[in-house]
Structure 1
Amino acid sequence: MGETTVKTQEARKDTESPVVTQGTAASVIGRLRSPRRPRIWFEILLIAASYWVYSLIRNAVPEQRSTALRNADWVWSAENSLGLGFEQSVNHAVNSVTWLIVSMNYYYATLHFIMTIGVLIWLFRSHPGRYAAARLALFATTVVALAGYYLFPLAPPRLMNGTHFIDTVMVHDTWGSMASGNLKNMSNQYAAMPSMHIGWSLWCGLIIFALASTPWAKILGLLYPAATLLVIVSTANHYWLDAVGGMLCLSFGVALSYAWYGALPHRLPRVPVRRARTPAAAPAPAAAPAPAPDGTGPEGQEPERARPGGQAPGREHPVAVRARKTAQDTGRA
């Protein structure tokens, strides 16, 4: 009998364990997919480490100069065949205005980082419930861009052979750009496609447009990626097709964020909603052990049988009660 009871309990545990495991996994995934208030030190370390890894991988991609120049010729020919090869005209026109082109050189070298970090900080402080979804879109955009640098190395217009693009950083000796001058050896010069200046600036612009409370801020949000497009073309760092590549990368990042969180960042609650703790379910009562084939009870004990007249076990029959009382009365007499 004891062996039968043990087997019954083991079978019940084997049946319940997959359900418990699936419930636990679903609970963990549910917590990960629910917006939570970000922790500042974790975010600082995550962003710093992520950008370091991004820069390391981007600069470790083989430069493949000949392939990059050949791809540049193809892109330039494709744009001209469409009648949209306007980059050289814009480059020469803006370069003729010294203060404007120098400003654009510094814009290209610095604002790319300042604005992105600034928007992340704003989200962290003012929209913590939307921060994680927006950050995921940004990170996914950047990861896809790394694949583009490897699969399609591309020389920027300023490095093309046989054209008349002006390297504005070299001409005006602008300080701080990783694209030209003494710092060019620290960066992969043949990673123009896709343009993360466009990918990141469009991410910033859309976030500002969707979440800013004042109309002028929304307008500035939309103008920022437009200004960035003008800058990357004027400084001969990108073709306009590179900007299209950056937009496609951002589209993937936003789609991934939507698939994970179930909504676009601006549709999520501004402040994370605390998840109510679900009380643990009470364990199901254990089933009574089955009697042994020989009719004995648990652990070999004889089961208590029903008494004559259908009286339940453990309860004295009324006839016996009356007989006992009569005997007691007779004894006292």
Structure 2
Amino acid sequence: MPHATAAIRTSGHRRPRWWTELPLLAVVYGLYSVGRLLVREDIPAAVDHGLAILRIEKALFLNAEHPLNRLLTEHAALGVPADFAYASLHYLVTPAVLVWMFRRRSAAYRAARTWLMTSTVLGLAGFALMPTCPPRLLDARHGFVDTMAQYSSYGWWGTGASAPRGLSGMTNQYAAMPSLHVGWAVWCGLLLWRHGRHPLVRAAGIAYPLITVFVVMGTANHYFLDAVAGAAVMGVGALLTRPVMRAADRVKDRVRAVFTPVAAPAVPSKYPVVSGGCKTSAGERIPGQRTTSADSSHAATGSAADAASDDAPAAAR
């Protein structure tokens, strides 16, 4: 995504302060969580959307969910780690990369944060416009097994995806399109690849999005097209990063203009400075200015000379 990396490279703003960033990120994440809950769960429409996606994938020979789901269902050594990864990495790796950018790549942090927030808002719009039933919630005749429920005894989750047992009502299980698990993983991967200096960090930037795609499909939480949509949302968010930053700067400038006190105008002096930048002609004296004796004798001599010169023409006549 060249636009995202270009915006990050050219972000010239100084690093924001952590005490302003934490409340901002908390508010945005709170809006994200509440937004998922407020989106109406139209279950019949969500099921129809899920089946339509499945039909499209089968027609295009993109249906990799079934073999991956069977692989994790039949091998607990793969299924249990995959469930742990789905339930935790999404909430651990993304904040870790954000903190890493804040501390180590401060010049690029603001653009990276704006990119993530903008893409997340777009994802919420997708949840609202197209509620989608994940494969694990389809009827059993469609051939999917909910691995989170199958291996729930190994972790803290129950039947409500990654939500802790008894708290499945705190999440919208029909917010599958687009997959922000994949979208946020793509964001992390691109930043690690672009700004990582150690080969292992850059390798993690490649591996993490690929592992996430494998996990979300194998656990039957997302379709392949959900993953594609998640990456597409990050691409659109990257294109909007610069305009959003410019709009935010304009809003901040206007707010500062409203709340910044206006300086009082300077009061002009009652007595202007006479000698400010002005010079007097020879022999001219500023009123009230004291003169030295040398100046006085020089002035008298000059006056006598002037009088003599005035009398000379008269004598000649």
Using the size of structure 2 for normalisation, the TM-score is: 0.71
> Which residue of structure 1 lines up, in the alignment, with residue 33 of structure 2?
55
> Which residue of structure 1 lines up, in the alignment, with residue 112 of structure 2?
134
Q: Is 2:72–2:218's contact at 8 Å kept on the other side of the alignment?
A: yes
Kindly indicate whether residue 85 of structure 2 is the aligned counterpart of residue 101 of structure 1. no
> Which residue of structure 2 lines up, in the alignment, with residue 74 of structure 1?
52
Residue 86 of structure 1: CA displacement? 2.0
- Of the three residues 122, 133, 151, the one matched with 1:155 is 133
Q: How far apart in 2 are the matches of 1:326 and 1:184?
A: 117
- Structure 2 unaligned spans of 5+: 1-10, 247-302
Q: Deviations for 1:59-110, whole angstroms, at most 9, x for unmatched residues?
A: 1100000000011110001100111212012101122111321111111111
Q: Is 1:34–1:261's contact at 8 Å kept on the other side of the alignment?
A: no
Kindly indicate whether residue 169 of structure 2 is the aligned counterpart of residue 185 of structure 1. yes
Indicate the RMSD between aligned Cα atoms, in angstroms. Answer: 2.5
> Which residue of structure 1 lines up, in the alignment, with residue 286 of structure 2?
none
Q: Is 2:134–2:223's contact at 8 Å kept on the other side of the alignment?
A: yes
> Which residue of structure 2 lines up, in the alignment, with residue 256 of structure 1?
240
Q: How far apart in 2 are the matches of 1:261 and 1:147?
A: 20
> Which residue of structure 2 lines up, in the alignment, with residue 203 of structure 1?
187
Q: Could you say if the C-alpha distance between residues 93 and 137 of structure 1 is closer, same or farther in structure 2, counting changes exceeding 3 Å?
A: same
Q: Is 2:189–2:209's contact at 8 Å kept on the other side of the alignment?
A: yes
> Which residue of structure 2 lines up, in the alignment, with residue 229 of structure 1?
213
Q: How far apart in 2 are the matches of 1:140 and 1:51?
A: 12
Runs of 4+ in 1 over 2 A off after TM superposition: 180-183, 258-262, 324-330
> Which residue of structure 2 lines up, in the alignment, with residue 92 of structure 1?
70
Q: Quick one: which amino acid aligns to residue 48 of structure 1? A: A
Q: Deviations for 1:245-281, whole angstroms, at most 9, x for unmatched residues?
A: 111110011112244669xxxxxxxxxxxxxxxxxxx
Q: Quick one: which amino acid aligns to residue 237 of structure 2? A: G
Q: Could you say if the C-alpha distance between residues 197 and 214 of structure 1 is closer, same or farther in structure 2, counting changes exceeding 3 Å?
A: same
Q: Deviations for 1:270-328, whole angstroms, at most 9, x for unmatched residues?
A: xxxxxxxxxxxxxxxxxxxxxxxxxxxxxxxxxxxxxxxxxxxxxxxxxxx9xx84697
Q: Deviations for 1:226-255, whole angstroms, at most 9, x for unmatched residues?
A: 000000001000001001111111001111
Kindly indicate whether residue 203 of structure 2 is the aligned counterpart of residue 219 of structure 1. yes
> Which residue of structure 2 lines up, in the alignment, with residue 245 of structure 1?
229
Q: How far apart in 2 are the matches of 1:249 and 1:182?
A: 31
SS of the counterpart of 2:83?
Answer: helix
Q: Quick one: which amino acid aligns to residue 164 of structure 1? A: G
Q: How far apart in 2 are the matches of 1:147 and 1:182?
A: 27
Q: Quick one: which amino acid aligns to residue 38 of structure 1? A: P
Q: How far apart in 2 are the matches of 1:252 and 1:39?
A: 27
Q: Deviations for 1:13-69, whole angstroms, at most 9, x for unmatched residues?
A: xxxxxxxxxxxxxxxxxxxx7421121111111111110111001111000000000
Q: How far apart in 2 are the matches of 1:329 and 1:199?
A: 106
Residue 144 of structure 1: CA displacement? 0.3
Residue 113 of structure 1: CA displacement? 1.1
- Structure 1 unaligned spans of 5+: 1-32, 263-320
Q: Quick one: which amino acid aligns to residue 138 of structure 1? A: L
SS of the counterpart of 2:232?
Answer: helix
Using the size of structure 1 for normalisation, the TM-score is: 0.68
- Of the three residues 156, 159, 174, the one matched with 1:175 is 156
Kindly indicate whether residue 145 of structure 2 is the aligned counterpart of residue 166 of structure 1. yes
| Identical positions, percent | 38
Residue 160 of structure 1: CA displacement? 1.0
Q: Quick one: which amino acid aligns to residue 231 of structure 2? A: M
Q: Could you say if the C-alpha distance between residues 191 and 261 of structure 1 is closer, same or farther in structure 2, counting changes exceeding 3 Å?
A: closer
Q: How far apart in 2 are the matches of 1:35 and 1:164?
A: 52
- Equivalenced residue count is 242
